[in-house]
A = this chain, B = another copy of it.
Amino acid sequence: MKKPKVVVLGAGYGGLMTVTRLTKHVGVNEAEITLVNKHNYHYETTWLHEACAGTLHHDRCRYEIKSVINTSRINFVQDTVTGININEKKVTLSNGELEYDYLVIALGAMPETFGIAGLKEYAFSISNINGARQLREHIEYQFATFNNDAEKKKERLSIIVGGAGFTGIEFLGELCNRVPELCREYDIDQKNVRIICVEAAPTVLPGFDPGLVDYAVNYLEGKGVEFKIGTAIKECTPDGIIVSKDDKQEEIKAGTVVWAAGVRGNSIVEEAGFENNRGRVKVNPHLLVEGHDDVFIIGDCSLIINEENNRPYPPTAQIAMQQGVTCAKNIGRLIRGQDNLEEFTPDIKGTVASLGEHNAVGVVYGKNLTGTKASIMKKVIDNRSLFLVGGPGLVLKKGKFKFF
């Protein structure tokens, strides 16, 4: 009898969790498991703001996939997914194709620019290791060039962060720590540097308790961040951005523009023909796509509704990992012909946004936290995701311990 083929696309939080759990729920002879990923490494998406700012080396934010999977059980294919053919049950890759009996789509998010002109061309995003290295070096190059310009241009040292959501605020926190280092390295008076956060919504960190929002804003403003709230970016140009507030337009020149104001699901999911909303597909409680009992979608490409407020859960690493656990169980049951599939319910343990290395704001088990306590909890959360994927060994190798 032929073993069913399980193909998992993406080795992010969701995909990696799925394959590591699959080897527990599925016997050696029960399935052939293949994991496909563009790179030979997994990276911690939720740590990228640190690599982008240059406060944490990118090698601390990634680890080799083969170091955490059982390679005698899982066939790892390093390749880029170019398409999914649901009818033929095939996945096409840059260098080949794969057939599947069960498919797990865990391809992650892409930046959503909402059609704002110039963002794709001129703004950086916080989305992967290659981009993080480039952004880090781009910022550093602006500082390295400043004193060497015949006519010193202050705007070269301005950094605009589009978006005051979770990622934007965390990136601002890192920048506040990094800029003084860069000023020392390149003999620059910090008065020449501007960090500007532009947010179209009426508030910073939407969804957070107002007390936590105030704490974060006051802290970042104290470090020199200028907030422009209720202000929309109309266009990004090679020289900076054009914003609009109350119908008044203004140009803000800047050497660096970072777009951190939104993500969408993966375009592969749209092209595959699933009913979707910006690349996110509503999945059933078993994490299966409606009408396709062999296709799971988890992580940032999946859409699940929070019944408390009837709005979608935001795409987070926490949910992706929990979905991976359920998905692995359900694949095991499907393979064995069982129909008692587990229903997925997110278990939100907490949400903490860091404000640099030693500060943070957030909610853990329903309790608001700020300052050192929140910062410690943030590191506990970061270490926990390592633990879930790679056990104590990975925590020791890549964990964050230097609390003070």
User: Interface of A with B (CB < 8 Å)?
Assistant: 130-131, 133-134, 136-138, 140-141, 144-145, 147-148, 185-187
Residues of B within 8 Å of A147, CB to CB, are 130, 133
Contact of A141 among B131, B138, B186 (CB under 8 A): B138
B141:A137 contact, CB within 8 angstroms:
yes
Contact of A137 among B130, B134, B140 (CB under 8 A): B140
Residues of B within 8 Å of A130, CB to CB, are 147-148, 187
Residues of B within 8 Å of A133, CB to CB, are 144, 147-148, 185-186
Contact of A148 among B131, B144, B145, B148 (CB under 8 A): B131
CA distance A138 to B131 in the complex (A): 17
Residues of B within 8 Å of A134, CB to CB, are 141, 144-145, 148
CA distance A130 to B187 in the complex (A): 9
- Nearest-neighbour CB distance to chain B for A64, whole angstroms, equals 12
CA distance A133 to B131 in the complex (A): 22
B131:A137 contact, CB within 8 angstroms:
no
- Nearest-neighbour CB distance to chain B for A178, whole angstroms, equals 15
- Number of copies of this protein chain within its complex: 2
- Nearest-neighbour CB distance to chain B for A253, whole angstroms, equals 20
Q: What residue in chain B is nearest A57 (Cβ atoms)?
A: B185
CA distance A147 to B133 in the complex (A): 10
10 A-B pairs within 8 Å (CB atoms) are namely A131-B148, A134-B145, A134-B148, A136-B144, A137-B140, A137-B141, A137-B144, A138-B141, A138-B144, A140-B140
Scoring A131, A144, A147, A186 by chain B CB atoms within 10 A of each residue's CB, the highest score goes to A144
Residues of B within 8 Å of A187, CB to CB, are 130
CA distance A185 to B145 in the complex (A): 22
Q: What residue in chain B is nearest A140 (Cβ atoms)?
A: B137
CA distance A166 to B148 in the complex (A): 24
Instruction: Other than A133-B185, A133-B186, give 6 A-B pairs with Cβ distance below 8 A.
Output: A133-B147, A134-B141, A134-B148, A137-B137, A137-B141, A137-B145
- Nearest-neighbour CB distance to chain B for A137, whole angstroms, equals 4
CA distance A244 to B141 in the complex (A): 32
- Nearest-neighbour CB distance to chain B for A11, whole angstroms, equals 16
- Nearest-neighbour CB distance to chain B for A270, whole angstroms, equals 19
Question: Which 6 A-B pairs give the minimum distances between C-beta atoms?
Answer: A137-B144, A130-B148, A130-B147, A134-B148, A137-B141, A133-B144
CA distance A148 to B130 in the complex (A): 5
- Nearest-neighbour CB distance to chain B for A255, whole angstroms, equals 13
CA distance A140 to B131 in the complex (A): 14
Residues of B within 8 Å of A144, CB to CB, are 133-134, 136-138
CA distance A137 to B147 in the complex (A): 13
- Nearest-neighbour CB distance to chain B for A128, whole angstroms, equals 9
Residues of B within 8 Å of A145, CB to CB, are 134, 137
CA distance A138 to B145 in the complex (A): 9
CA distance A185 to B60 in the complex (A): 12
Residues of B within 8 Å of A131, CB to CB, are 148
- Nearest-neighbour CB distance to chain B for A57, whole angstroms, equals 9
Residues of B within 8 Å of A140, CB to CB, are 137, 140-141
Q: What residue in chain B is nearest A138 (Cβ atoms)?
A: B141
CA distance A147 to B128 in the complex (A): 11
- Nearest-neighbour CB distance to chain B for A306, whole angstroms, equals 35
- Nearest-neighbour CB distance to chain B for A140, whole angstroms, equals 6
Q: What residue in chain B is nearest A144 (Cβ atoms)?
A: B137
- Nearest-neighbour CB distance to chain B for A104, whole angstroms, equals 26
CA distance A145 to B132 in the complex (A): 10
Residues of B within 8 Å of A186, CB to CB, are 133
Residues of B within 8 Å of A185, CB to CB, are 133
CA distance A148 to B128 in the complex (A): 10
CA distance A137 to B134 in the complex (A): 11
Residues of B within 8 Å of A137, CB to CB, are 137, 140-141, 144-145
